[in-house]
Structure 1
Amino acid sequence: MTTLMPIGDVERHTGIPQATLRMWERRYGFPRPLRDEFGHRVYPPHQVERLLNIRRLMAQGHRAGKLLSGGGADLAALTDQQGAQERPRHVAIQLLRQYRFDEFRNLLQLRLMSLGLRRFVIDILAPLNVEVGEAWQHGWLPVRCEHAYSVQVAMLIQNALATLRTASGRPLVMLATPHGEHHALGNLMVQAILASMAAPCIQLGTELPMHEIEEGARECGADIVALSFSSFSARKHVAHTLGSLRAALPPSVEVWAGGSGVPADLPAPAGVRVFNALEPVEQAVADWRRRHGAEAPPLRQSAERSG
């Protein structure tokens, strides 16, 4: 069954404003949305993919009118030409593009084994995320391979987490993404760092309404609520979400925010800590423990994996 995407989700996914999508529809006849049962615009995947290609080429200096008035074959040729010129050199991305997922996973597994989970996430995955994003943005890595990257990396992290005993110390960190945020990899990487420091985590997943996050924090007794925002998040949305959550939670519960969607110059509300990289998470946990007189419990491998 084909999944149709509402116009608001298309805006977040492609970075193209809704008003622009409607103007292109009127002026150029593309995109050509369908209508749902309420008469609202919805877009099939192949149109969203074409919009992504158009946005990438516009970022390289091509005019929207020429891209939209030309045929699909012309657009594909431009995309292939641009991608060939900007082919990434990282072997991991080459393996992704060639669908050699077992080799890709084995390559990263070796680095994980040599570095340990925490350093692997910070030193290997964090910069690789940036490279994958750039390869996608420039059109060399299609969305399907970018999604496959997330799947493969999630498998690696989850397998590594399964070798650790569940921590019982503090702080207890609840991780989630707010409504409209589909990307879970950022929070999973944060969980890996926290777990390697014996900080227990509750992972609630993606696209949670604000009241669910608030109630979950109260019910589980979270010390920290950490939210992740992708690059598709609008600045106003991020600021409003963090302000609303901070106001709704008790002052004793800290709010952390990170991800590529959190601008470095975002004026965070009092009681909200913004992370523009993963490495400061280590110091933030140590700071929390010092302020609250909490010691880190010893970290051990699980009996199932270590015995």
Structure 2
Amino acid sequence: MNEQGRDPLIEVGHEQQELFPIREVSRLTGVNAVTLRAWERRYGLIQPTRTDSGHRLYSQADIDDIRRILGWLERGVAVSKVGSILARGHALAEQASGATDAWLRWQHQARQAVQRFDMAGLDRLFDEVFAANTLDQVFAEVFMPVWHDLAAGQGGYGQASEWLFLDQFLRGRVFSRLQLAHVPRGRTVLLAALPGQCHELELLVTGLSLGSDEIGVTPLASGQPLQELALVCERLKPDALVLFSHHPPTAELTRRLVRMAAVLECPLLLAGEAAEVAQDHLAGSLVACLGAQGSVMRQRLRQFLAGQLDT
């Protein structure tokens, strides 16, 4: 089997799925093979299956995504922005299945528990939500929207205390999950916040999102000096360092990241909203951008460490 031929079926669980070689996908979509590879390696937009010999095989879902990408490009959307749009589209498809009502109900229950400062109630609710959802959904669809709402509405009496109560609870839960995940992995990644550009909880949740069975993620302490990261990486010898920020990067910060990447002993990656904004400016540099959404960041990190995502 090679990319010039056709491997019509593979087993997926108890089902069979038709897969297409890159030449056939080019014929079906009108996108040439060079562009398809660039969308995979540079932007992480698609992730075809690989044969043992390394040849790409695309599913019908991949082909559907390629057509969606073409549609957004025709509307004038920059290719660097399409990944987050696709991820939102996939999330909306999940919501259409009826998950939205459950998420809203859990958000309401979380707000009620916070208003009562009910730690035991929050514990029970967290366990219920965790048992019924993916890790990304637990935070992105249920608890972080409540956390953000409380953070934005601290003008009223008691609201600051409610936000601090929820923040403390969630940090404790995320710490516990990170400790459970802190076992030897095939790859190790350090995660650090750009100084003053996120709350500790946001960094910790990102650490959970980036981790997988193959990749262990260690968040560094809040306030980690940027200028000392080279020393930390030299001593810990991670496979990569990920910097996280939800603030748009300045031109000076972008230049500083490029300089930092040149002296680190491991690859440097950027995650969070900063990565969405800076991706075009960092194209071709030594800094890779992971995006801002959990599933997108995790996929791109996996691709990067496998040598399948370009900077």
Give the alignment's TM-score, normalised by structure 1: 0.55
1:245 pairs, out of 241, 257, 260, with 257
For structure 2, list consecutive stretches of 5 or more residues without a partner in the other structure. 1-105
| Structure 2 counterpart of 1:98 | 116
1:203 pairs, out of 202, 219, 224, with 219
Q: Secondary structure in 2 aligned to 1:90?
A: helix
Question: Is the alpha carbon distance of 1:150 and 1:226 closer, same or farther for their aligned partners in structure 2, counting shifts above 3 Å?
Answer: farther
Q: Secondary structure in 2 aligned to 1:253?
A: coil
Pair 1:255 & 2:268 matched: yes
Show CA shifts across 1:221-243 (max 9, x none).
2222122224xx4642xx53343
| Structure 2 counterpart of 1:23 | none
Q: CA deviation at 1:248?
A: 1.9
| Structure 2 counterpart of 1:157 | 174
| Structure 2 counterpart of 1:134 | 149
Question: Is the alpha carbon distance of 1:225 and 1:240 closer, same or farther for their aligned partners in structure 2, counting shifts above 3 Å?
Answer: farther
Q: CA deviation at 1:166?
A: 0.8
Instruction: Output the CA distance in 2 between the equivalents of 1:281 and 1:234.
Output: 17
Map 1:23-62 onto structure 2 (within 5 A).
none
Q: Percent identity?
A: 13
Q: Secondary structure in 2 aligned to 1:226?
A: strand
| Structure 1 counterpart of 2:137 | 123
Q: Secondary structure in 1 aligned to 2:196?
A: coil
Pair 1:148 & 2:137 matched: no
Question: Is the alpha carbon distance of 1:279 and 1:208 closer, same or farther for their aligned partners in structure 2, counting shifts above 3 Å?
Answer: same
Give the alignment's TM-score, normalised by structure 2: 0.54
For structure 1, list consecutive stretches of 5 or more residues without a partner in the other structure. 1-87, 293-307
Instruction: Output the CA distance in 2 between the equivalents of 1:249 and 1:264.
Output: 18
Q: CA deviation at 1:177?
A: 1.6
Residues 167 and 195, structure 1, Cα contact 8 Å, conserved in 2: no
| Structure 2 counterpart of 1:225 | 241
Instruction: Output the CA distance in 1 between the equivalents of 2:270 and 2:149.
Output: 23
Q: Secondary structure in 2 aligned to 1:205?
A: coil
Residues 186 and 259, structure 1, Cα contact 8 Å, conserved in 2: no
Question: Is the alpha carbon distance of 1:165 and 1:263 closer, same or farther for their aligned partners in structure 2, counting shifts above 3 Å?
Answer: closer
Pairwise CA RMSD: 2.9
Instruction: Output the CA distance in 1 between the equivalents of 2:290 and 2:211.
Output: 20
